[in-house]
Amino acid sequence: MPRKFNSVRIIGVPSDLGANIRGANVGPSAVRIAGLHDKISVLGYKIEDAGDILVPIRETLPESAAKEKYLTTITDVCDLLRMEVEMSLDRDMMPIVIGGDHSIAMGTISGTSAFYRKKNQSIGLIWVDAHADMNTPASSPTGNLHGMPLSTLLGKGITQLVELGGFAGKLRPENVALVGIRTLDHEEKRICRESGIRYFTMREIDERGMAAIMKEALAVATKGTAGIHLSFDVDGIDPLYAPGVSTPVTGGLSYREAHLALEMIADTGMLTSMEFVELNPMRDVAHKTAELLVELVQSALGKSIV
């Protein structure tokens, strides 16, 4: 039976350490200011705000941290997040994680996976993004960790991140759906093709329509799983609607396509946890992207038009 949540737990992760562009660390504050609590409470959920995971700012870290692309710090942050997410689920509260760059997904999904692993169950994943985030240290042109989380969660990459929480392979490839990709690095294309996941490019969305794509993505994420984790990178949406991101790519999801995707996830009743990442308030226009993110959370939680 799908799990019914009456309560949610908001966890902020103010980290931009995984990226080379600053500003995503301000995301959690902007989303709260945009009315996250009020917009969730009107849907009837009880809310607990766990505050923010403690993330050191770059200026307080030694030069050696920058040379290792902040690996040690990101590992510590993701481990704290993993424990917070698992504890939320233990308390029968849906974790809603607000980032921060996409490296934090390694913590969120590790926590959700660990909770269901205790029950001998696995989770499915719907990952909405302009990028595949499937680089490894060997393939990445930059070495930035926000470009590697999905491969890491599938068991390939830096050992201390792959084995976060004491086990590797947080996801089965056949239960992963990657939606909205439109810009991949050269070697990353090969990794994506060989990974065993189901990916849907923007061309496929253009040709087939979002409803058909999401129907198939949901079938992938729910086949033999206890539920769905949603990992939503705001740069999956076209910059026309979501300008406040660190790495904008034209030709993304429309306003309604994004909402439809989350409305269809909500309809399954199988959402276990979610995160929204890569909001960069420093690049936003009149809080437009932060406000959209709050609306998307509402759609994922079941807000309907009528």
Name the residues annotated as catalytic.
Answer: 102, 129, 131, 133, 146, 233, 235, 278
Q: Around Cβ 35, how many Cβ atoms within 10 Å?
A: 15
**Listed residue (194, 187, 189, 183) closest to 154, CA to CA:** 194
Cα gap 49→221, rounded to integer Å: 28
| CA terminus-to-terminus distance, the chain | 26
* Residues 6+ positions from 190 with CB-CB distance below 8 Å: none
Q: Which of 20, 257, 26, 231 lies closest to 124 in space, CA to CA?
A: 231
CB atoms within 10 A of CB 295: 17
| Residue type, position 158, single letter | I
Helix 210-222 vs helix 255-268: crossing angle, to nearest 10: 30
Beta bridge partners of 52: 12
Nearest to 179 by CA among 224, 230, 135: 230
Dihedral angle over CA of 169, 125, 217, 300, nearest 10: 180
Q: How far apart are CA 218 and CA 229, in angstroms?
A: 11
Pair 76, 56: CB distance under 8 Å: no
| Crossing angle (nearest 10°) for helices 71-90 and 105-117 | 40
Distances from the Cα of 223 to the Cα of 29, 108, 136, 211, 217, angstroms? 36, 21, 27, 18, 10
